[in-house]
Amino acid sequence: MDINFNKNDDHNKLLVSSFRQKLAKVKLGGGEKRIEKHHAKGKMTARERIDFLLDDKEKSIEIGAFAGEGMYKEHGGCPSGGVVVKIGYVSGKQCIVVANDATVKAGAWFPITGKKNLRAQEIAIENKLPIIYLVDSAGVFLPMQDEIFPDKEHFGRIFRNNAVMSSMGITQIAAVMGSCVAGGAYLPIMSDEALIVEKTGSIFLAGSYLVKAAIGESIDNETLGGATTHSEISGVTDYKAKDDKDALTKIQNIMDKIGDFDKAGYSHKKPAKPKEDPKDIYGILPKKRSDQYDMHKIIERLVDDSEFEEYKEGYGQTIITGYARIDGWAVGIVANQRKIVKTQKGEMQFGGVIYSDSADKATRFIANCNQKKIPLVFLQDVTGFMVGSKSEHGGIIKDGAKMVNAVSNSVVPKFTIIIGNSYGAGNYAMCGKAYDPRLIAAWPSAELAVMGGTQAAKVLAQIETASLSKKGEKVDEKKEKEVFEKMKARYDEQTSAYYAAARLWTDAIIDPLDTRKWISMGIEAANHAPIEKDFNMGVIQT
């Protein structure tokens, strides 16, 4: 191995180590003291509930673990958005589980909580996956009610989705394992089946204090909306459980009886591990985001037997396209090539940049995958489309638009892994979040922004120094450098993988070695939902 490989290896392993430390902290939710108080009430934590429910906690992937990271500091923060979401298996059935974390502000809903719950429902709807809700929430976080209550993608959308999923035949099971108040009371009851835990579970539109204030009636919460009330008097719930484990076991028994689903029919064979060692990825991926490397070497360490059938290998070389299998599933891969390449005409093309010929090739390949019913995997390390007079005169905007059109109208499931850079329109063309990937994950090395930090900081610094000059302030070289560094620090923070994950621009930050697992489980989920429309790119300029 060369010295650069070893330097890269050390750097990327440190990034993964830092990622694991951050994740371990996030998994504590509201902290150890609140977990102890939770246990003292005879309740399991959200993560403990999910781990008990799943057949094998290791065969699962978590959505939005870093949601809310660094946000709502004035309110004490909101680790994981106050809700844990995982895709896993219950009684052999793949499903998605949503569990309120009552150690975080009693499970109250922040704006990011609503966004994360809607993302979980979106995954269930797209893939026709059963969804299980483990409810333990104090309802909307009132100091921020204006950002969670009235809009289209706010709290009320969740109940609308409950109704839509029911009409689609998507199984929804809810267990009330703690507080379930006001509008939140509709979620479990709009599910197909609802369970409630004795002594700890309660459901009511208004608690005892509000009832007293509103109509003068004195009543305790247990009598008002506890397990016995709703299981034996109101008939609101379908099952009564003596404790958390009993409720989770009942869910396992219900899931065990669910019938099979109509499959989309994506090609699947016996899985094979890559022949090339996936751990080499740490040494191949450069420490500096501007450095070049050969994306083929990454692909060889992600695909079965390291076998990759490349499409149009010698044409449009700054995008790599081709067929492979990942954990047995057939995939079409669209990846940015990050090394400088030479065209047949002897011209040099910069790695990570999309040129007209690359966009043209990718468009045709995406259409082929749609015709063959092959899921698409996008490996992003892109700085954008090529600029300059030659590109503009050659129709780069038209060719880029064709690629965006193909990605937008693709009917096969798409999966996006952000390996490095994800800048500008390159993010869009390579199936960024706005283009409905079934799952989108980032490696710790990822950066998402409209442009790179240095370039953006230079532009912003020029604007800032010009503004200061207009105000009569003296702007010397030292001041220019100070303004640049300030702008770059702010921009770099906003481009980090954690900033994106906190806002659910990505579903997760993952160890590169977990990439195969994410794509495999994602395609298995997508296989629940047969394709219901034909691929049609509409009107495009050719």
pTM: 0.93
Neighbours of 525 (CB within 10 A): 23
Name the residue with higher pLDDT: 134 or 542. 134
Name the residue with higher pLDDT: 194 or 145. 194
252-276 pLDDT, tens digit per residue, is 999 999 998 889 999 999 999 999 9
Mean pLDDT across the chain = 92
The answer to whether 123 and 525 are in contact (CB under 8 A) is yes
435 alpha-carbon distance from chain centroid: 13
pLDDT band at residue 542 under the 50/70/90 scheme? low
pLDDT band at residue 148 under the 50/70/90 scheme? confident
177 alpha-carbon distance from chain centroid: 26
Residue ranges of alpha helices (H) inside 445-476 are: 453-470
Secondary structure in 3-state letters for 414-440 = EEEEEEEEEEHHHHHHCCCHHHCCCEE
How far is CA 215 from each of CA 138, 179, 207, 212, 426, rounded to the nearest angstrom? Answer: 22, 22, 12, 6, 59
Give me the DSSP letters along 268-317: B------SS-GGGHHHHS-SSTTS---HHHHHHTTSGGG--EEESTTSST
Query: What is the rounded average pLDDT of the residues 318-322?
Result: 97
Q: What is the pLDDT of residue 481?
A: 77
DSSP designation for 140? B
Token reading at 56: 């094998």
The answer to whether 389 and 428 are in contact (CB under 8 A) is no
Residue 473 has phi, psi (to 5 degrees) of -80, 145
pLDDT band at residue 138 under the 50/70/90 scheme? confident
Contacts of 102 (CB under 8 A, 6+ apart): 38, 43, 46, 136, 137, 138, 178, 179
Q: What is the pLDDT of residue 210?
A: 83
Q: What is the pLDDT of residue 45?
A: 97
8-21 pLDDT, tens digit per residue, is 999 999 999 999 99
361-416 pLDDT, tens digit per residue, is 999 999 999 999 999 999 999 999 988 888 887 889 999 999 999 999 999 999 99
pLDDT band at residue 183 under the 50/70/90 scheme? low
Percent pLDDT > 70 in the chain is 97
How far is CA 435 from each of CA 152, 374, 408, 427, rounded to the nearest angstrom? Answer: 19, 17, 6, 10
